[in-house]
Amino acid sequence: MRLGVLDVGSNTVHLLVVDAHPGARPLPAHSHKVELRLAELLDGKGAIGAAGVDRLITTVRGALQAAEDQGCEEVLSFATSAVREATNADEVLARVHAETDVKLQVLSGEEEARLTFLAARRWFGWSAGKLLVLDIGGGSLEIAYGMDEDPDAAVSLPLGAGRLTAAALPGDPPSPEDVRALRRQVRAEIARTVGEFSRFGKPDHIVATSKTFKQLARIAGAARSTEGELVQRELSLKSLQEWVPKLTTMTSDQRAALPGVSVGRARQLLAGALVAEGAMDLFGAHTLEICPWALREGVILRRLDHLPVG
């Protein structure tokens, strides 16, 4: 069957269309993506303004048309931290439903972490042993750890690259004082969770998902996306520690000129790098591997698990 998964994230609204059936690997057939950056559209009271909701509705309509054009039998629609934490979330969800007939399922942060972990486990398989999975989104950082398909521990922290950029890094480039303050904040937040994971023992394999990690790996020398998802891509803490001071002094335009960095994500890259560096350092990850699958694939896999076989 042809499935669509509509991900209303903090940075983008992304429709992924796959051909899939139980027991088989989902095969990507089409991708429709619009950068909306909802995490940066929240007003002083934490609400998504009327203009932002209008843009969201228009974007969802466009994604639905793309799903219809691609022949999707079903579209799985969900929203993450930007909608989840908006003070007017119920109003936003009601308007989207009334004007597009789409009922967005709002995932909790823990659900995000668990579904992303499922995707990573299926990608790497049982031979990867105990997995530690890190995922930096626009609004939050998800961390999950475990041996099985359902992690033993999963948390979501308010450390998304878009959220932190809007709240803590106003300059372009930001001031050294703002960067130091954000670094302290990020590390203190992550450090509170380390004990929850360390009691399960050392992971056998540490992996990361998300556009932020992919871009950081690319500027550190990993293979281009055009070389395919089966090419192994890694990010070392050493190379990241070398890049963070450089990113600190760059403007958004200068970051956008780096290999693999999009214009829309360039401003957020420094905040994302500070989160990545803090997480890798505090969890003792000298090197991690980039996983091509993430939350969207986790949602698809969970849906396929509930379809009859044959």
Residue in 30, 31, 5, 33 with CA at minimum distance from that of residue 102: 5
> In whole angstroms, what is the distance from residue 52 CA to residue 258 CA?
29
pLDDT score for 21: 86
Q: Could you tell me which residues come within 8 angstroms of residue 9 by beta carbon, excluding any fewer than 6 positions away?
A: 38, 79, 80, 82, 137, 138, 139
Longest CA–CA span in the chain (Å) reads 60
> In whole angstroms, what is the distance from residue 92 CA to residue 113 CA?
24
Q: Which two tokens stand for residue 252?
A: 């958004």
The proportion of the chain whose per-residue pLDDT surpasses 90, expressed as a percent, equals: 86
pTM over 0.75: yes
Q: Which two tokens stand for residue 17?
A: 């269309």
pLDDT score for 40: 74
> In whole angstroms, what is the distance from residue 100 CA to residue 202 CA?
46
> In whole angstroms, what is the distance from residue 86 CA to residue 17 CA?
28
Beta-strand relationship, 287-290 and 234-236: antiparallel
Residue in 161, 155, 145 with CA at minimum distance from that of residue 193: 155
Beta-strand relationship, 27-35 and 131-136: unpaired
Residue in 176, 186, 194 with CA at minimum distance from that of residue 274: 186
User: Is domain 109-295 given the CATH code 2.120.10.30 in the classification?
Assistant: no
Architecture of domain 2-106: 2-Layer Sandwich (3.30)
Residue type, 111: E
pLDDT score for 308: 65
Cβ–Cβ under 8 Å, residues 110 and 148 = no
pLDDT score for 260: 94
Q: Report how far Cα 216 is from the mean position of its chain's Cα atoms.
A: 14
> In whole angstroms, what is the distance from residue 122 CA to residue 293 CA?
9
> Is it true that 2-106 and 109-295 share their CATH fold?
yes
Q: Where are the domains of the chain?
A: 2-106, 109-295
pLDDT score for 310: 53
Q: Which residues of the chain have pLDDT under 50?
A: none
pLDDT score for 307: 74
Q: Could you tell me which residues come within 8 angstroms of residue 69 by beta carbon, excluding any fewer than 6 positions away?
A: none
